[in-house]
Amino acid sequence: MKFRSTRGLEKDIASAQAIINGISKDGGLYVPDGFPKVYDELKKDTKIQYEDLAFRIINEYFTDIDDEELMGAINSAYNDRFSVEVKNNFLELYHGPTCAFKDAALLFLPQVMKRAKKICDVKEDITILTATSGDTGKAALEGFKNVEGFKVVVYYPKNGVSTIQERQMSSQEGNNVKIVGIKGNFDDAQTGVKEIFGDDDFRAGLAQKGYILSSANSINIGRLVPQIVYYFYGYFNLVNQGIIKKDDAINVVVPTGNFGNILAGYYAKQMGLPIDKFICASNENKVLTDFFETGVYDKKRELVLTESPSMDILVSSNLERLLFEASGRDTTVVSELMKDLNTKGAYEVNEKIKSFIKEFYGNFADAEEVYVAIKEVYEKENYLMDTHTAVAYVVKKKYVEETKDDKPALILSTASPFKFPRSICNALNIDVEGIDDFKVLEKLSTNTNNTIPSSLSTLETAKVLHDEVWDKSEMKDALLSYLK
């Protein structure tokens, strides 16, 4: 398997090199040359362990990493650190060290990157740059901390993450980590990181000093591929529970910000998994809802700070990979669209792409609908879901009402409700006025009889180790100050 850029400059790139590079030289994203059809083989054993399933799927893409090394990376990432559970059609992806679905990919990425570094004979330290809307940052820090040969710098919007998310990052231990708050929103942080990657002179200067840059955002193919695994795992769980029969089609419902998670589901379908409709759920930042309705992607709008902050995004980077497939892999079309987005702040796709994206349904949920859903599901099913999962739940209901398509659907549950305890308490009418978020955790636990995840229960007393705040225009300076 080889990889190529969505914008056409690079092709025939081996996976190890694509993982190390993070982003292509032309600013495009790496995509595989094809999608191996493995579902018919994999469905023979629906009770397969998660680690074994991960090996079977990832091994189809990262073919230049030998089997023993790849299995070692998977075991180091997941054994006793991460698990996936399916409850009430919710695919719970947050049973990892940071209580968010990002663990699925970001525990694996450092392990595979370490091996890719060896294959590519990279002697220098690699500095991982990441922008986060809340969850990616902590998961990257947790995955890469103390991994030899790597440094990690995470940028986050100072007033754009929850108190719990911020403390998770600011208390991060490790001899190779740096967290920088910026005065701006997530899109400012993401744009700043992309600009650093796109500044050849700046990168050349760093390289002379022995620093190579790479990314842990889902623009890195090493982060995207492991996310394919849990769609297969979730599907097989529905089979094992008797909710569906083998080969039955399902819909998937994904709370979506940067589009990487739902794109991994699309890749799973290309590998043969029987997924019918992709239900793309947004919060009030409904740029994707509007895109799937009209074929126009327009980021020229105010970013709304919501109670599902990991989705407070106006530029969904991974959509570029879908446009590549939708255009018939036409790199000229993709390059033009991305140029329009950068220069005009918007683009409109052609009729061919508009027809292609009908596989996707987009809608959004506002704050009130999210609260109602959290309360409704808790009271009816005694099931506690976080704000992002609630967005997905609301949009799934809207889809069924609109289309009357009520086939079984897998709803991706992307974070523990304890990451956003104040929002959940407010939704459940638990009075938390005037008490801090760490005490709110305890109140949510007591009132719902749910246990606080151990990694969150000690946060209140965790020492703040990182408290730097820089202007969004100073992201390069912040990086240089860390690298000295």
Residues annotated as catalytic are 102
Please name the residue ranges forming H helices in 100-176: 103-106, 108-119, 135-144, 163-170
The CA angle 218-224-228, to the nearest 5 degrees, is 145
Strand, coil or helix: 26: coil
Q: How many CA atoms lie within 13 A of 387 on its CB side?
A: 24
Q: Are the beta carbons of 10 and 4 closer than 8 angstroms?
A: yes
Q: Are the beta carbons of 243 and 209 closer than 8 angstroms?
A: no
What is d(CA 417, CA 387) in angstroms, rounded to the nearest whole number? 7
Question: How many angstroms separate the Cα of 74 from the Cα of each of 110, 174, 214, 265, 346?
Answer: 10, 22, 21, 20, 39
Strands (DSSP E) found in 120-198:
125-131, 150-157, 177-183
Beta strands at 468-471 and 177-183: parallel, antiparallel or unpaired:
parallel
Q: Are the beta carbons of 128 and 214 closer than 8 angstroms?
A: yes
- Torsion of Cα atoms, 251 then 288 then 302 then 306, to 10°: 10
Q: Which of 234, 217, 218, 225 is nearest to 412 (CA)?
A: 234
What is d(CA 167, CA 455) in angstroms, rounded to the nearest whole number? 11
The CA angle 239-244-250, to the nearest 5 degrees, is 105
